[in-house]
Structure 1
């Protein structure tokens, strides 16, 4: 069994990319499978994901979802319902929604818990860790299917998917992508009538299946129930980075906001003028969209997607004012951050905000990033001067550093 990686005892168990893919290395995965072809990892180890999620954990999540069961769906043969739409009982119908959900489950419907990483802290930690390693937004849904049932008809997703089988087994059918690397700007895709799904696999507890976006798939249970988690991976897209950069130029350069000459479609001379202007504008884009600028934009986008990792922030805020030169701090685990130079000076981009930094704060940030999970204090990296202490207090308050 692959060891589950932990940051500290206080942070708890989480899966990183190495544990998720084992025995396939992350390097092999990136080189041979990512956005290229499906990957099936068989382990013959039903308990491999016990530290990640169990059937009892799913039961607890459903029971604690509240009367409205928000973000929970019931699916049968491609049709979906909210549990509240199935409940009976007039004004008290919502209180019966959980019973209605299990009634549908017993009758063969799949139960889907969307955004499960927002409901269960171990999943949230793993989503953040995997998102940091992949430079992408990772979202998790749970699918609970009774024996002898099928939830969705053959379809493809517009994001990459890891299927983590945590309980039981499921039979999958796969087909080639009808559209290469589809984006969310395109409609959700169901398979055309007569489409062949020519690869069949059985996924058992402890196994992993990776599907590049666009891969046609459908799944059904046999004699046993099935519970799996889908890790939807939403990477930074080349075209989106370029489009955003071009949009910023349009908003800051009036030449790009002007209208084409009136009547140019009927006047050859005006059409020649339009072509010349386009050539000039393309040259402006070539000058301003440098590889360095675009790479910086992509890095900023990668550090900004996903929800902030702010567990224990309330406790940190209560203690920040009493922090002294010997108080141990460290970089908050799995916080996505980016230290950049701007015209106004150094800035730390973290938790969807930009924090201006003093020279002592820059040194603190660099030390925290190089030390990874190691604890340190103001006294350990300086003479304990007030400037370093103030910098650490600010970075604790802004959620980049955390207290022991």
Structure 2
């Protein structure tokens, strides 16, 4: 029996996640079992397949700061952990570009020379090599990703010991930076549980022996699960590193869906008793016990189904991630020439599902829902695997029908032309 498209994707993904594999020195399965969300992983450059010079460089920093017309919040600066006011490094851009919050290369030079750290934010939206890498990494991880760069002058400390509410991969691009990693004081923090809520405990833990105390050099990589306390200090020359933030979906997201569905239960929408003393725990005890019992009963009587959970998380994923960019002019030109020999593939980072419905097949692609003839189902399932395929070789369709289907999907931004 042939594997289903889902099984085929899972099997291929377990052994081939190329963007993720660039950042770790262990196998993908070992990383998933032993490190993801559990403990840090230090990956030295001499054990990785390639460095990160194709993604970013010191020259890229200068180009972004001096030539790309960046505006806040795509850049910020900090000194000894304190973020600078934006007017310290921004100014109007002159005739034809009078907007006041554009990055001023002269002001950046003055602040950087005085010891301030440059933070380039949202590089997954502004720097082409990182845009492409991020799209692939999102597909590998199945979670939203953002990328910032931290450019720290020699012997300067960027931010005080803290933890992040998202997982991070650190990729050292240039210079050297000493990282001190300490155990969590609040494991697996959620987005609304920042380190500042536990600042005393974080400061106390930062005085203990670190779990990792290492100098990262160009090509080295470090993975940190959310909640792990860290601080870093540049050594010698200017340090440039990428911080890849991963906003992982959590079990709490599934719990929230289950609880949200109970809003349909009338008993759980009823008012609390008249005159209840809300400051009295004893007065609330019976009401709380009854409410929790009703909550459990409501969850069991009308549970969240896997289909509903998947649809909800997929909508959220689509809203907070961006698939591979499309090129409007090149796409329109390519559509005019599209024939059976043309090569198409599924747009990277675009979530998709196929399901038969009567005499049609329903395609969900990101926020789009498209209906196509049922005969196109095998072709759509093939395209969902992500491999580049000649239009005329799609299963279940003759060449003319395949051209019609692919032309529509390219125009809709579901497929892209070329390998």
Greater displacement, 349-358 / 270-279: 270-279
> Which of the numbers 190, 198, 220 marks the counterpart of 2:209?
198
Alignment of 1:86-235 (within 5 A): 86=89, 97-189=104-196, 191-192=199-200, 193-195=203-205, 196-199=207-210, 200-235=213-248
- Separation of aligned partners in 1, 2:292 and 2:55: 54
- Give the alignment's TM-score, normalised by structure 1: 0.82
Deviation string for 1:147-206 (max 9, x for gaps)?
Answer: 110111111100011110010100111211110100111234374244325222111111
In the TM superposition, residue 311 of structure 1 has moved relative to its aligned partner by 2.5
Alignment of 1:375-390 (within 5 A): 375-378=389-392, 380-382=394-396, 384=398, 387-390=401-404
Which residue in 1 is equivalent to 2:3?
Answer: none
Pair 343,258 (structure 1): closer, same or farther in 2 beyond 3 Å: farther
SS of structure 2 residue aligned to 1:219: strand
**Count, aligned residues:** 386
Alignment of 1:1-400 (within 5 A): 16-21=19-24, 23-44=25-46, 48-66=51-69, 68=71, 70-86=73-89, 97-189=104-196, 191-192=199-200, 193-195=203-205, 196-199=207-210, 200-250=213-263, 254=266, 256-260=268-272, 262=274, 279-290=293-304, 292-293=306-307, 296-297=310-311, 300=314, 303-304=317-318, 305-320=320-335, 323-340=338-355, 346-370=361-385, 372-378=386-392, 380-382=394-396, 384=398, 387-400=401-414
SS of structure 2 residue aligned to 1:161: strand
Which residue in 1 is equivalent to 2:14?
Answer: none
- Separation of aligned partners in 2, 1:271 and 1:164: 51
Which residue in 1 is equivalent to 2:13?
Answer: none
- Separation of aligned partners in 2, 1:228 and 1:187: 23
In the TM superposition, residue 143 of structure 1 has moved relative to its aligned partner by 0.3
Contact 2:262–2:295 (Cα < 8 Å) also in 1: no
- Separation of aligned partners in 2, 1:187 and 1:110: 22
Deviation string for 1:209-243 (max 9, x for gaps)?
Answer: 11111111111112221000000011111111331
Pair 147,179 (structure 1): closer, same or farther in 2 beyond 3 Å: same
Pair 256,54 (structure 1): closer, same or farther in 2 beyond 3 Å: same
Deviation string for 1:71-127 (max 9, x for gaps)?
Answer: 211111111125433468999876782211111111111100011111111101111
Pair 97,339 (structure 1): closer, same or farther in 2 beyond 3 Å: same
Contact 1:77–1:153 (Cα < 8 Å) also in 2: yes
Pair 56,299 (structure 1): closer, same or farther in 2 beyond 3 Å: same
Unpaired runs of 5+ in structure 1?
Answer: 1-13
| Superposition RMSD in Å | 3.5
Deviation string for 1:244-273 (max 9, x for gaps)?
Answer: 3432452x555544434546779x9x9989
Contact 1:307–1:351 (Cα < 8 Å) also in 2: no
- Separation of aligned partners in 2, 1:109 and 1:208: 24
Pair 260,346 (structure 1): closer, same or farther in 2 beyond 3 Å: farther
In the TM superposition, residue 399 of structure 1 has moved relative to its aligned partner by 1.4
Contact 2:168–2:223 (Cα < 8 Å) also in 1: yes
Contact 2:169–2:222 (Cα < 8 Å) also in 1: yes
Contact 1:40–1:208 (Cα < 8 Å) also in 2: yes
- Separation of aligned partners in 2, 1:181 and 1:277: 28
Pair 75,287 (structure 1): closer, same or farther in 2 beyond 3 Å: same
Deviation string for 1:255-294 (max 9, x for gaps)?
Answer: 544434546779x9x9989966764553332243256346
